[in-house]
Amino acid sequence: MDSRLIVALDLADSNQVLEIAKKISNEVFAVKLQWITVMDKGISVVKELSKITRVLCDFKVADIPYTNSNIASRVANSNAWGIITHSFLGRDSLSAVVEAAGNMKVFSVVAMSHPGYSEFMKEHVHDLVKVSTDCGVYGMIAPGNDYKMLREIRDLAPDVKIATPGVGAQGGSAVMAIEAGADYVIVGRGVYGSSDPVASTRAINQEIWSALGMA
């Protein structure tokens, strides 16, 4: 059965990231890569990882259109499967990422899983979903630990893919996130912090398949 699990390898040591990715590559849909890993080895780590599995670059791109375009182009040329960008910069900046991405999948952040996002971002979620849809993103990032918000986003954007962080260490449930409308579940510490990453990914896959009625 196909996995709906994206593992966030939010580690600074690129060798450790590559080692874990090799172990879990047959168990996951993709791995998510942070800037912190690129700081260790450079953009070449994206190319290395892409030989092992799909790579979703969680770079949360947030700049003027010219800079966004340059970042997205460089990531696409490194064979990444996808890139995560912020949407609050507006249509011009978001469109620049989508246009430069080519065949690479663009996920826009419309809501986040940490408490602080409610200070400024939460009241604008509907607007961020609208601008993301208008710009033609492939997917959106929405919280897997806020099921009410996740359902709202799914209702507003029925045709896009939704990937959800906030599952596991931040209190969210993979099953409940899937039931609320997520397509992919993002888990980090529950896998890379495990003594047996393969067993952990398999256990989460079973949860997801159960929620989908596939177990």
Closest-CA residue to 193 (of 11, 3, 4, 5): 11
Q: What Å distances lie between residue 139 and 15, 37, 51, 54, 215, CA to CA? A: 29, 23, 23, 15, 25
Answer whether 36's CB lies under 8 Å from 28's CB: no
Handedness of CA 117, 118, 121, 125 (dihedral sign): positive
By annotation, the residues acting in catalysis are: 60
Closest-CA residue to 161 (of 204, 106, 86): 106
